[in-house]
Structure 1
């Protein structure tokens, strides 16, 4: 059985399914454009005056909720009822597209897990020997963390950015980063390599979920500040709740990333005879660590909570991805074996 071929086929399938899930969640956001727009009926009537009316051309009229004259045989609340009905239909569509998106995400997750497992069987080792293998494994952990949050805490609101990330990540893996199965280079024959990679994958998944939550937090916070929370933003948790979710994910990831850097140093001593050599990959891992350390410090300082801390979290996520992709593609170093 050609495990390598079926592994690639499973990853390509996952890319397609994740794209369908992304489109479904995009439709979920688009279907919510009517939500949160209509004001309560009693508020509208208070603004125009209950019972206000006039007579035009001998026909008794009453003032409607939009300020227009309505015949008295049409209930004053007809406009509100129609708007409420439209909002209920939109809400039903939002839920439907959201459930379809979750189902497709689960199918894509299973396909990507199969791809990673088959890649490991084809290589006869843990599938983390190059950038392609690390990418598809990292996407598995990111989506797994998201699905766990959906199951345990109902956080479907992260569906669009997570499926976008999974589709792009796996898509880059199969089109740009792909390499054929090959034996590990001597530097990777160490148990500390496996420990280093597992810690990096788990902390990276948490960094991504926390960073995406921070992006949505800024969108919701801006809408709340303008008093224009409508559409899908009206279905998101409060900005305070989203800020807390991001903080918990990043607070969980930071110690793991610290351990990742430490384990990498021990592995470097085994492979190259020194714990730290300012290799570009090592240096940027330290930069990422410093940024997230600043984030946690900002969270503990009252004047830097909220939006400022969220911006630091997003910078940290960008630094993580530059360390993961940019360094490998743009800079040569001792980690160049992990290139494409």
Structure 2
């Protein structure tokens, strides 16, 4: 299995110009030596635009695309496809947050709602029926390379960073960031973060083999963006390049989401708050840490609940 290289990530950096923005690295002095990579400030509210735009750039002109997504990747692909003037279909599990579904719809993409169990089979069927090109959320080298540009920017913005923290769901972001960071700054640690209630990647990496969790188990977490498990491709990247992986509780995720809004003035969805939650729990071990705030797309009611919670 070929792993993505730093050359792939460098090429992606050029391919996504005009689609993704260079997000700031903000000092969260209230938490210590923590720096927040604010990917929630991307045009689609999440880092996913990087991988989606890079994968789309590799396709022939006019090729229509399809994906399956609980929200952020579908919105990113819909946005990039609209910019290129090509059709986009997004298969969405009916458990996806309403705000994320609305974000996909706003791009003009066609939405197909299915049960979580039908997510992959429906996508496969529609891909064949309509002659579309599948760009999955994470199980694709071009997507991984695009996400790796987050790592390039962090190293450029903070040459003395000790640790980079990334949320882990399907593993595309962690795979890409670890590829970039370990190639350019091998002594910098890259640590993945998962909810305790969706810790299939931690179990897999500890066991040395890919272990899948049933959907009803991983869907318990509030962090909807990391309810999906690793693929063989992302597992291979994380096994080779990730330094460690830790977990946080639901209470810690909720608290960190509120802290980011109140003290950093950043709207983060629970998945985007995973890395801050981990730093607040383990940060004394990590020196200067850059935490990827992966996205900020959440329902207003949930945001209000988490911001006002004590």
Above 0.5 in TM-score?
no
Higher strand share: 2
Give TM-score, length-normalised by structure 2. Answer: 0.28
Bigger helix fraction: 1
